[in-house]
Structure 1
Amino acid sequence: MSSPYSFQTPRSRNRLYAKHSKLLSWANSPNFRAALVWGLLIAAICCLVINLFYVQIVQGSLLRGIAQSHQVTQIRPFMPRRNIVDRGGNILALDRPVFSLFAHPKLFKLSKEEVAEKLSPIMDRPADSLVKQFNEGETGIRIEYSLIEDISNRIIDLRLDGLELIPHQQRLYPHKEVAADIVGFVDGEHIGQAGLELSQQNILTRPSQEIRLRQMGDGSLMPDQIPTGFLNQDDLQLRLTLDTRLQRAVQPILQKQVTNVGAKKGTVIVMDAYTGELLTLASYPSYDPNQYYKSKPERYKTWAITDLYEPGSTFKPINVAIAIENKTIKPDTYINNPSAISIDGWPITGGSGGSETVTDIVINSYNVGMVHIVDTLKPEVYYAWLRRLGMGGVVGVDLPSESPGQFKSRKQFVESRIDRAVTAFGQGFSLTPMKLVQLNATIANGGKLVTPHVIQGLFDSKGRLYWRPSLPAQRQVFSPATAKVILPMMEGVVTQGTGKAAQLPGYHVAGKTGTSQKANGFGGYSESAYVTSFVSIFPADKPRYVVLAVIDEPAGGGYGGTIAAPVVKQVLQALTALENIPPSISGQVSGSASESKAG
C-alpha cells in the first residue's frame, strides 16, 4: 500500500510539518496547561454543585430520614397492667416477668439426650419428652412458654449452647377460678377478654409514650441522652369491693350443692344493700383464668348478669310492696285465696282454699292469692310501677355484657289479664339474678334503688384514692314505711313458711323462696326443668346484706326452699364469721309451717 503522502509535493509536506510543530509547541506551552487545569477545576466544581443541589435539595428529606433512622431510635417502654386487688388489698391479678424457652438443636455442643438430662430436673419434665421436642426441627423450637424467673436463672447457670430465653410479661391470677367471674382474663396479646380485664381495659392499662433516643454506631443507647425517669411507672392499683375471704368460702358451698343435685349451674351473690357494693359474685362451673384456653368459652361469661330467667316466687315481695305503696292493701288485709282459678282459659293453682291475710300469702307463697293482690291495682298503675323499678332494663353493673330484662309492652300488659296474673307470681317475664338482688335491696335499705358495682376505684400503694367511678344517684322508689312492713313478712317465710331451711340460730333472717318453670321454646313451660332460688335480707332486724342463690335445673327436682335456701344458710354462716356480725337473739329460730310447693 502506498503512503498517504505519496501524492504530496515537497512544499505541501513542509507546510504540514510546520503546522504540527506549531500545535505541539502551543500544547506544551504554560498557558495551555494552565487553561486545561482551570477548565478541569471549573468542570469539577460544576459537577460538585450539581451533586450538592441534588443531594441537599432534591433528596434532602429522604436522606435526613435515613440518617435519623440510624442515629435515633424510638422506644415505647413496656408498662405492665395495673394490679387488681380486693377490698382488703389481696392481689387478684398482676403482671409478672416470665420467659419463653426456645431450643436450637443445630447449635448444641452436647447431644440432645445430654441437654435433656440437664434440663429435666429444673423443668420437672421427663427427659424423653424434651428429646422428642428437640427432634421437631433444627432451630426455633419453643419448649416452654412461661418459665418463672427462678427457673430461667437456673437454666442460664447451665451455660448450654443452643438454648434461648426470651423475656415477656404474663398476667397471673393467684386465686384461679375463685374470682374468675369478676376479674376475667387477658389473651396472649395482653388484651382483656372477660370480666374487669375487658370492661376496665383503659383503666388497667398504664399510659406510655414513645421516647426518642440517640444511639451510637453499634446500636447502643447514649446514656446521657436517656431522659430522667422514663421507665418510672405509677403504683396505682384497681381496688374492688370483693371480699376474697367470703368468695373463697362461698365457692365450695356452691360447687357442692350444684354437684349434689345434678344441676346445670349455680350462682351466689352477696351485696351491701345500702351501697350496692358486691362482696361476692360466685358461679359454678367456673374456669381458671391462668389457663382459660382449657375451658369452654361459655364459662367466660358472668351468667349472673348475662343470663335471663323467670324469678318465680322471689318476686312476690316486690309485687306486695307495690300494692302497699299504692295503699290498695295492708299486711293484715284478707285476700280471697281459692285452691285454683281460671284466667282467660288458663288454670292457675296454688291457693289455700279460703281467705288469707297478705302476710300469710307471702309466708306460704300462694300463687292464687298473689293474683288477687295485683288485681287490686289498676293495670296502668301496675305496669308503670314495674317500669319504674327498671323491669326490662339493666342494673348498670360495671362488668361487661349485662343483658337487659325482657318485659311485655304496655299495650299487651294492660289489655291481657293473664299476663298480669302470671307476673304476680314471677313468671311471664325475665331478668338477671343481679336485677333481683337490686330489687330486694330496696326492701332492705328503706326503699332506695342502688347500683350494684364491684369497683371501688384506683388507689396508690399508700391507700390514697386517685380515681373513683361515678355511680347513678340512688333513687327512692318505695317509702321507708313500705319497706319496713315487707321485712316481717319475709322473716315469716324463714320462721314459719317455705324458707325454714335458711334458719340461722341466733339471727333474724328474712327471705323468699322461688321455684320457676323454664320456658320450653314452644310458647309454654317445661314439665321437668326448673330454676330454684332463695333471696335473703340479713340480718332482718338490722338489714345490711342481700344474699341470693340460684340453682339452675336440679336434676332430682326440688324447690327453692330445699335446694337454694340451704346454700344461703351456709353463706350467712360464713358472712357472720367474717364480718363479726353479733347475734340478734338467743336460741334457735323456730317455726312450724311446712313448705308450700308454690315456693
Structure 2
Amino acid sequence: MTKTFLKFRSRITVIICFVIFSWVGLCVRLFQIQIINGQMYTQAVVEQAQKKEDLPPNRGNILDRHNRLLSRNIIHYTLSANPSKVSDIQELAEAIHVRTGEPVEKYIDKLNIKGNFTYLERNMQRETLGTLLNMSFDGLFIKRHYKRRYPHGSIAAQVLGYTNIDDEGISGIEKDFNTYLSGKPGWIIKSKGWSGKIQKRSGLPFRAPIDGCSVQLTLDLQYQSILQDELHKRQKEADATTATGIIINPQTGEILAMASTPGFDNNNFSKYSLETHRCRAITDQFEPGSTFKIVSAVAALSEKKVTLTEEFNCENGEFNYFDITVRDHEEYGQLTFPQIIKHSSNIGIIKIAERLGRSTLYRYARDFGFGSATQISLKGGTSGTLRPLKKWSQVSLGQIAMGHEVAVTALQLAVAYSAVANGGYLVTPRIIHQIVNSKMKVIHKNELSIVRQIADTRIMKQTKDMLRKVVSDGTGIKADIPGWGVAGKTGTAQKYINGHYSNDKFISNFVGFFPVNDPQLLAVIVLDEPKAPFHWGGQGAAVAFRRIMERIINMDDSIIPPKKKKRSDFIKDDIILVENEK
C-alpha cells in the first residue's frame, strides 16, 4: 500500500460509496419508474404522443309507413378549447375570425377565461370551418356532430318532436325512442407528429360507432299533410282557438295522421309557443257531448233494453230531469231509437240510459276504453275522466249518457268508434310500425293487438246503420260524400268553465268512417271554441271531415269504394232486421 493511497484513502472510500449509493439509488428509481409506476408513466407518454377522439354515431331516421324520410342528419362541427393549453391566443382567435367573420375580441375573451374548457363555436358547417380542419393549434378541439333536420317542416312536428343542440331527443318520438335512435359512439386513437399535428395511423386502437336504429311510423306523409292543411283552414274559418284531428285504420288501429293547429316547425321549435308543441289528440281532454251517445246505444242493444222500432217521448224538446232542465236543439215528440241517434236527442238518450242503469252504462264506457290509457307508444297522453260510480250524483247517469261529466281525448274517441266500425273489437292504437337497426334487421315490430270484444258483430251492424242515417239525413249530413257510405256522429258540448257550463264557448266534434259496410278509414275532428254557427258539430267539425276525406279519396287509389247492393241484398237485410226485432 503506497503512501499516496494511504493519503487519499478516505477520499477514495467516499467516492466509491458515493458511486455505489448512486447506482443503488438509480436502480431503485428505475425500479419505481418501470415496475411500480410503469403504467402511469407509459400512459403519460402515450397521452403526449397520442390523442383519443370520439366518433359520433349517425342518429337513426324516422320514416313514414311508405319509407319516406321524416327526418335527416346534417354534419356540423363544434370548436372548443382548453385555454390553459393554448400557446398563442391572438393567433388562434384571428384564425377562427377569418373563417366565421366574428370579431377577434369575441374569441380572445373566451380564450382568456379561467378553466380547462370553453366553447368557441357550435353548429359550424364544413364550408365555414374550411382550412381550420387541417391546421394545428395547441388546446383547440374540433368535433364532428350530426344536426337533426326535418325536411317537411311543420308536417307531423307534434308527433316527431325534436332534439337539443347535443342531438338528444327532448320531445315526441325523438324523446320517447331516443335510446333506439341515438346509437352508440365509437372512438379512434390518433398520433401526434413532431410538429404537433394530429394524424391518423394504422395499427392504433379503433372502435367503430354503432349507428342508431330507424323508427318507421304508421303515419302516411300525404294523409298528414292533408289533415294539417284542412285543420288550419277550418280553424281560421270557424275562428276556433285550436283544431285537432286524427285519422286511423279502424281495422288495425294504425294511426295514419294526427295533428292539431296552430302547429310549429320543429326545425325552429324555440320560436314557437310551447302550447303549439303539444300533441293535443292525446294530451287534451274535453267533454264530447253527443259523440258519447254511442256508449248508451251499444249498451242498450247488447242488453236488449230497447228495440229498433220502439218509440220514446222526447217531450217536445224540454224535459225536467231531477233538478236540471234538459233541452233538445229541436222540439221532438215521439222518436224511435234510431231516430234518437239520428237527430241527437238528449232527452231520448237519457230515457234509454235510465233503462240501462248506472253500473251498466259505466261498464260499457269502460269497455270502450274511456277513463283508461290507450297504450299508444307516445308519452304524455291522458286517460280522460270517467269518475267511479260512488262519485256519481243523481243526475250523473243522464249527464254522462249525453256526453257531459265525462272527458275524453280525440284518440280515445277514435279507438271507441273503431270498435263500432270493425265489428266490436277494441284495438290498441299504433303509431310505431317497426324499428330497424343499422344493419337493416327488424328488432321490433308492432302487431295488431285486440284488447277486448265489446259487442258482437250483429249489434255493431245495427249501430253502424244508425250512424249511417246520422250522415245521410241527420245532424251529420254535411259530412256525407255521395257514393261512399259515410257513417258518423256529431257532438256539440258546452265547455265547463269556473264551475258552470258556458253559454258561448263550445267544443264542436265529429267522428266518421267509411264505407259503412267495410270501413277503411275513420277520423275524429275537434274544434275548440269555434264561433257560431260552427259550434255545432254538424256545422264545424263535420265539414272539415268531408273535405279531408274527399282529398284522400282523390289522392289514394287504394281506398276502395263500396260495392253497390243488388235488390236481393236489400231483401236479406230486411229479413235480418225483422228477425232481430223478434
Aligned-pair CA distance for 1:331: 2.5
Kept after mapping to 1: 8 A contact 2:253/2:427: yes
**Structure 1 letter corresponding to 2:343:** N
In the TM superposition, what is the alpha-carbon distance from 1:201 to its structure 2 partner? 1.0
Is 1:51 the counterpart of 2:33 in the alignment?
Answer: no
Task: State the partner residue of 1:574.
Answer: 551
Distance 1:156 1:561, change over 3 A: farther
Q: Deviations over 1:348-405 (max 9, x none)?
A: 1117442211100000000000001111113222222222333221101112201111
Which of 296, 299, 307 is the equivalent residue of 1:322?
299
Q: Once the two structures are superposed, what CA deviation does each residue of 1:496-521 show, in whole Å capped at 9, x if it has no partner? A: 11011111122100011111111112
Could you say which residue in structure 1 is the equivalent of 2:354?
375
Query: 1:97 maps to which residue?
Result: 75
The corresponding residue for 2:509 is 533
- Which position in structure 2 is the counterpart of 1:402? 381
Distance between the aligned counterparts of 1:519 and 1:73, measured in 2? 64
User: Does the 8 Å contact 1:448/1:476 carry over to 2?
Assistant: yes
- Answer yes or no: is the 8 Å Cα contact 2:210–2:438 preserved in 1: no
2:276 aligned with 1:307? no
- The 3-state SS of whatever aligns with 1:269 is strand
Alpha-carbon shift at residue 446 of structure 1 (Å): 0.9
Displacement after TM superposition at 1:546 (Å): 1.3
How has the CA–CA distance of structure 1 residues 204 and 109 changed in structure 2, closer, same or farther, with 3 Å as cutoff?
A: closer
Letter in 2 for 1:89: N
In structure 2, relative to structure 1, the CA distance for the partners of 1:33 and 1:270 (3 Å cut) is same
| RMSD, matched Cα | 3.5
Greater mean deviation of Cα atoms: 319-328 or 380-389: 380-389
- Give yes or no for the alignment of 1:245 onto 2:222: yes
1:552 aligns with 2:528: yes
Q: 1:566 deviation in Å? A: 0.7
Task: State the AA in 1 paired with 2:368.
Answer: L
Match of 2:159 among 178, 182, 185: 182
Q: 1:57 to 1:166 in 2, by over 3 A?
A: closer
The separation in 1 between residues aligned to 2:159 and 2:376, in whole angstroms, is 11
- C-alpha separation in 1, matches of 2:183 and 2:209: 11
- Correspondence list, 1:424-573, <5 A: 424-459=401-436, 465-469=442-446, 472-521=449-498, 523-558=499-534, 559-573=536-550
Q: Is the 8 A contact 1:448 1:477 kept in 2?
A: yes
Partner of 1:134: 103
In 2, the alpha carbon distance for the partners of 1:396 and 1:334 equals 40
2:183 alignment partner in structure 1: 206
CA contact (8 A) 2:94 2:104 kept: no
Aligned pair 1:334/2:303, yes or no?
no
Please give the per-residue CA displacement for 1:292-337, whole angstroms capped at 9, x wherever unaligned: 0100112111011001101111111222011211111232222232
Residue 281 of structure 2 aligns with an amino acid whose one-letter code is A
**Distance change in 2, residues 1:355/1:453 (3 Å):** same
- Secondary structure class of the residue paired with 1:375: helix
For 2:313 and 2:47, how far apart are their aligned partners in 1?
Answer: 87
- How far residue 77 of structure 1 moved from its aligned partner, in angstroms, is 1.6
Q: Distance in 1 between matches of 2:441 and 2:38?
A: 53
Cα distance in 2 between the residues matched to 1:542 and 1:265 = 32
- Count residues in correspondence: 537
Return the index of the structure with the highest Cα Rg: 1
Q: Which whole-Å deviations, capped at 9, do the CAs of 1:407-441 have from their partners, x for residues lacking one?
A: 2122123xx33111111111111011110100000
**Aligned-partner Cα distance in 1 for 2:79–2:22:** 60
Indicate whether 1:362 and 2:338 are aligned: no
Q: Deviations over 1:529-568 (max 9, x none)?
A: 1010110011112212211111111134431111111100
Give the letter aligned to residue 247 of structure 1.
Answer: Q
Letter in 1 for 2:510: F
- Cα deviation for residue 68 of structure 1 reads 4.8
Deviation at 1:199, TM superposition (A): 1.0
Q: Does 1:83 align with 2:61?
A: yes
The answer on whether the counterparts of 2:510 and 2:538 sit within 8 Å (CA) in structure 1 is yes
CA distance in 2, matches of 1:448, 1:403: 22
SS in 2 for 1:449: strand
* Contact 1:445–1:544, Cα closer than 8 Å, also in 2: no
Relative to the length of structure 2, the TM-score reads 0.83
Equivalent position SS for 2:482: coil
Letter in 1 for 2:371: G
SS of residue in 2 equivalent to 1:560: coil
Q: Which amino acid aligns with 1:572?
A: M
Q: Give 1:344's aligned residue.
A: 322
Tell whether the 8 Å contact from 2:471 to 2:478 is kept in structure 1 after alignment: yes
Alpha-carbon distance, 1:26 to partner: 4.4
- TM-score by length of structure 1 reads 0.81
- Structure 1 residues 206 and 329 mapped into 2: Cα distance closer, same or farther (>3 Å)? same
Q: Are the counterparts in 2 of residues 194 and 301 from structure 1 also a CA contact under 8 Å?
A: no
CA distance in 2, matches of 1:354, 1:99: 74
Q: Does the 8 A contact of 1:192 with 1:198 survive in 2?
A: yes
CA–CA separation in structure 2 for the residues paired with 1:187 and 1:88: 27
Match of 1:225 among 179, 204, 219: 204
1:391 aligns with 2:370: yes
* SS of alignment partner, residue 335 of structure 1: strand
Pairwise CA distance, 1:38: 3.4
Distance, in Å, in 2 between the alignment partners of 1:323 and 1:378 is 10
Q: 1:224, CA displacement in angstroms? A: 1.6
* 1:66 aligned residue: 44
SS at structure 1 position matched to 2:285: coil
Q: Is 1:264 matched with 2:233?
A: no
Instruction: Specify the alignment match of 2:269 in structure 1.
Output: 292
1:235-265 per-position Cα deviation (integer Å, ceiling 9, x unaligned): 8421111110111122221111101211100
How far does residue 213 in structure 1 lie from its aligned partner after superposition? Answer: 3.6
Code of the residue aligned with 1:455 in structure 2: it is: I
Q: 1:465/1:42 Cα in 2 relative to 1: closer, same or farther (>3 Å)?
A: closer
Task: Give the partner amino acid of 1:547.
Answer: A
Tell me which amino acid in the other structure corresponds to 1:434.
L
Determine helix, strand or coil for the equivalent of 1:178.
coil
Describe the SS at the equivalent of 2:165.
coil
Identity %: 26
